[in-house]
Amino acid sequence: MDLGLKGKSAIVTGASLGIGKAIALALGREGVNVALNYRKHAEEAQAQVREIEQMGARAIAVKADVASFGDAEAMTKKVVETFGGLDILVCNAGVNRDAVIWKMSEQEWDEVMDINLKGYFNYIRSAAPIFREQKHGKIVCVTSINGLRGKFGQSNYSASKAGIIGLAKSVAREMGKSSVNINAVAPGLIETDMVREAPDKVKEMALAEIVLGRLGLPEEVADVVVFLCSEKARHITGEVIRVDGGQYI
């Protein structure tokens, strides 16, 4: 099915590994020119650039701290100059610093909020004037089912992911008259490098919750994100779509 994305330009934050990597490659496969944001994993990001270029699309990797308003503005400007415009923004970069609330440090709280929530604001804020002026744009925010239900030992992470949902719904109201769609995708436990390194007990507890009986794959999240970036989803906005194999049920 042709999603009509060929020639569009996108920013994907946190695109060097895991879900972000899968999203960047999936967009590239559809002919989208992709700007991959990374902070630490330069080699991995450059490998994605080469892979997307082999698909026939253009790609660049940009080192930027998503928690920095200035970095977000600079990256957005660079993407517009390089690709000639911006059509899609996928906010994905995130971290977790788990601890029960009575042991959580101020730094652990602030770091998660700065990257997971403020980082999304920074990029949406930089893209919004462009999308508003051109009267089109797609924004997809990767949140989590734990932003819908809470999670023991993750008050900072769950609060940040719940904040993303509120941010997305508010911006959907603000940008709707400019024909800008903004939606959120809420994965359950997905088989990434970080999850593979998690204690077996954690994975066993998650598997017990998942109706389909297996962890999700990054590509399965990416498929939903790509659909929401396409005109096939032009009448969907302000939604939160769970990709969790029934883990939330």
With respect to residue 42, please indicate whether it lies within any of the assigned structural domains: yes
pLDDT of residue 201: 81
Catalytic choice (38, 120, 123, 157): 157
pLDDT of residue 106: 96
With respect to residue 214, please indicate whether it lies within any of the assigned structural domains: no
Domain count of the fold of the chain: 1
Our CA angle for 154, 156, 162, nearest 5°, is 95
Where would I find the H helices in 84-178?
A: 106-112, 119-134, 146-149, 155-175
pLDDT of residue 224: 98
pLDDT of residue 192: 86
pLDDT of residue 194: 73
CATH number at residue 31: 3.40.50.720
With respect to residue 233, please indicate whether it lies within any of the assigned structural domains: yes
With respect to residue 210, please indicate whether it lies within any of the assigned structural domains: no
Q: 85: alpha, beta or left, given left = phi > 0 and alpha = psi -120 to 50? A: left
157 is an active site residue: yes
Q: Read off the pLDDT of residues 94-120 as tens digits, 9 standing for 90 and up.
A: 888 988 999 999 999 999 999 999 999
Strand blocks (E) in the chain: 9-12, 33-38, 59-63, 88-91, 137-142, 180-187, 240-243
d(CA 139, CA 129): 13
Q: 118 is in which domain, residue-wise?
A: 9-188+219-243
d(CA 59, CA 21): 13
With respect to residue 2, please indicate whether it lies within any of the assigned structural domains: no
Report residues of the chain scoring pLDDT below 50: none
With respect to residue 116, please indicate whether it lies within any of the assigned structural domains: yes
With respect to residue 3, please indicate whether it lies within any of the assigned structural domains: no
- What residues pair up with 141 in beta bridges, in sequence order? 91, 184
With respect to residue 97, please indicate whether it lies within any of the assigned structural domains: yes
Q: 91: alpha, beta or left, given left = phi > 0 and alpha = psi -120 to 50? A: beta
pLDDT of residue 185: 98
d(CA 30, CA 55): 9
